[in-house]
């Protein structure tokens, strides 16, 4: 059986039911406790961890996080829908990636006119 969220194979007996969907453990945890972009403790923790490892900029990020950051940086701004469409990401996955980039203080949300954009710090 496959997870209805990420489509990964779920070994027998290791699935979770959430709102009528069969999920793997990672997706179940993500559905129950999604990352919060505006989390002061997470920002402090991410900054301290990165500093202790000597990481700067996009060092230490996943390839997808680097690509999202570069796209925003190259274009000056991007909506979540634009990023989801360009990278073919479901909304929940984009939110997870944005939370990490926000915690590392690389990307933030900014209202321009009537639209919310993701922009670089």
pLDDT, averaged in runs of 10, over the chain (121 residues): 91 92 88 79 90 93 97 97 96 91 96 96 93
CB-facing half-sphere around the CA of 77: CA atoms within 13 A: 11
- How many distinct helices (H) and strands (E) make up the chain? 5, 4
pLDDT at position 30, please?
79
Residue 10 phi/psi, 5° resolution? -115, 120
Q: Which residues, 6 or more positions from 86, have their beta carbon under 8 angstroms from its beta carbon? A: 71, 78
pLDDT at position 58, please?
94
């Amino acid at each position: 059986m496959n997870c209805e969220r990420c489509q990964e194979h779920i070994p027998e007996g290791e699935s979770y039911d959430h709102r009528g969907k069969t999920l793997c453990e990672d997706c179940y945890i993500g559905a129950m406790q999604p990352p919060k972009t505006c989390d002061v403790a997470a920002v402090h923790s991410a900054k301290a961890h990165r500093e202790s490892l000597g990481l700067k900029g996009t060092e230490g990020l996943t390839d997808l996080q680097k690509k999202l950051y570069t796209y925003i940086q190259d274009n000056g701004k991007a909506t979540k829908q634009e990023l989801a469409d360009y990278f073919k990401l479901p909304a929940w996955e984009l939110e997870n990636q944005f939370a990490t980039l926000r915690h590392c203080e690389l990307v933030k949300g900014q209202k321009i006119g009537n639209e919310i954009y993701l922009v670089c710090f």
